[in-house]
Amino acid sequence: MDRPNGANHGCKPVAPSFVRRDERGLFVEIVNEGPWETIIHGTMEKDAEMGNHYHRECRAYFYLMSGRARIVVRHLIDNSMDEVELVAGQGVYLLPFETHVIQYLENSDFILMKSYRYRNDNPDIYPCKVEP
């Protein structure tokens, strides 16, 4: 699976596909594509880390609702690295064979959408520290 718009390499921030703010309130279409089997909402404290693993099948979209986070990715196919800092209202795609860690720079609220639901018999989570 590729990232939208044909980008299949390089971790880059992604803005919502549509935002409408009017007298009624705010409507944000976070993403308008994908084969998502599970959607997770969570909060993390400043200095917490999540990840240090990769998936062989799962594609994920991480969206930061509030706070600030740094995502570091090592592409296992060619060993290249990407690092991106997200602020509220930005997201990033994480593809198979990208070992990744999310470092929370502030208390944060997030949504994580995954194309592969967790299964006890095949969790598709392979520990792998993100190190240069």
Contact partners, residue 74, CB within 8 Å, separation at least 6: 80, 81, 98, 99, 100, 128, 130, 131, 132
Superfamily in which the 4-127 domain is placed by CATH: Jelly Rolls (2.60.120.10)
Q: What is the pLDDT of residues 38-79, one digit of tens each?
A: 999 999 999 999 999 999 999 999 999 999 999 999 999 999
Rounded to 5°, the CA angle 85-6-82 comes to 30
What are the residue ranges spanned by the domains of the chain?
Answer: 4-127
H or E element: which one contains 84?
strand 81-87
Q: What is the pLDDT of residues 5-29, one digit of tens each?
A: 444 456 888 888 899 999 998 999 8
pTM of the predicted structure, to 2 decimals = 0.86
Q: What number of H helices and E strands is found in the chain?
A: 0, 11
Q: What is the pLDDT of residue 81?
A: 95
- Give me the residue label for tokens 């290249």: 80
* Nearest Cα residue to 33 out of 14, 17, 9: 17
The encoded tokens of residue 112 equal 């994580």
